[in-house]
């Protein structure tokens, strides 16, 4: 048996087999831990849950979802507007305080927050894009 293991071809095959087993185990562990992937906002309930996690007690009265599920706009009864976007394998949210960084282009609404690290976000809101762009004008042009 030792002579068989000393053969270079068998040793190489065992090394390859061991590597494949390790790769499968790592892939299984990553899937179990929900690492990576391409998260999407599934529906309005999912967007509301993300908003509540971002700002405790944020109860959205109206929701606009990006058609691809990469972001959403939500408004609560206090007229606070929250922008949600993909951030890696999670979601990040920022409150929109002015319409200064809002640009409408057909069915696409591009938004920039006061937080430069958050970056600009372009959402495909379809027919709702014009409605949301008009409603965001009520926020004023000077950041709060």
pLDDT value of position 74: 96
Contacts for 70-75: CB closer than 8 Å, 24+ residues apart: 70/40, 70/41, 70/123, 71/41, 71/121, 71/123, 72/41, 72/47, 72/123, 73/109, 73/111, 73/123, 73/125, 73/132, 74/47, 74/48, 75/135
Identify the band that residue 47 occupies on the pLDDT scale cut at 50, 70 and 90. very high
Span 54-103, pLDDT tens digits: 999 899 999 999 999 999 999 999 889 999 999 887 899 999 888 888 99
Instruction: State pLDDT tens for residues 1-25.
Output: 666 666 778 778 888 898 999 999 9
- In angstroms, the Cα distances linking 114 to 5, 63, 87 are 64, 21, 17
Q: What is the pTM of this model?
A: 0.73
Interatomic CA distance for residues 71 and 83, integer angstroms: 7
- Comparison of pLDDT for 14 and 122, the residue scoring more: 122
- pLDDT for residue 92: 93
| CB-CB neighbours of 69 under 10 Å | 16
Q: What is the pLDDT of residue 89?
A: 79
Q: Which of 5-14, 111-120, 128-137 has the lowest mean pLDDT?
A: 5-14
Question: Quick one: average pLDDT of 29-48?
Answer: 85
Average pLDDT over residues 44-55: 94
Cβ contacts of residue 26 below 8 Å, gap of 6+?
A: none
Query: Given this model, what pLDDT does residue 68 score?
Result: 93
Using alpha carbons, select from 117, 108, 56 the residue that is nearest to residue 82. Answer: 56
3-class secondary structure, 106: coil
Which is more confidently placed, 34 or 129?
129
């Amino acid at each position: 048996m030792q002579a068989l293991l000393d053969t270079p071809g068998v040793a190489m095959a065992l090394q390859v087999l061991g590597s494949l087993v390790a790769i499968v185990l790592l892939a299984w562990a990553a899937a179990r831990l929900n690492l990576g992937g391409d998260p999407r906002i599934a529906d309005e309930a999912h967007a509301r849950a993300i908003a509540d996690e971002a700002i405790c007690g944020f109860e959205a009265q109206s929701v606009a979802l990006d058609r691809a599920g990469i972001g959403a706009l939500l408004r609560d009864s206090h007229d606070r507007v929250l922008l949600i976007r993909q951030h890696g394998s999670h979601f990040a949210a920022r409150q929109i305080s002015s319409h200064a960084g809002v640009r409408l282009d057909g069915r696409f609404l591009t938004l920039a927050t006061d937080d430069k690290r958050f970056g600009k976000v372009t959402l495909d809101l379809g027919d709702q894009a014009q409605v949301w762009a008009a409603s965001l004008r009520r926020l004023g042009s000077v950041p709060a």
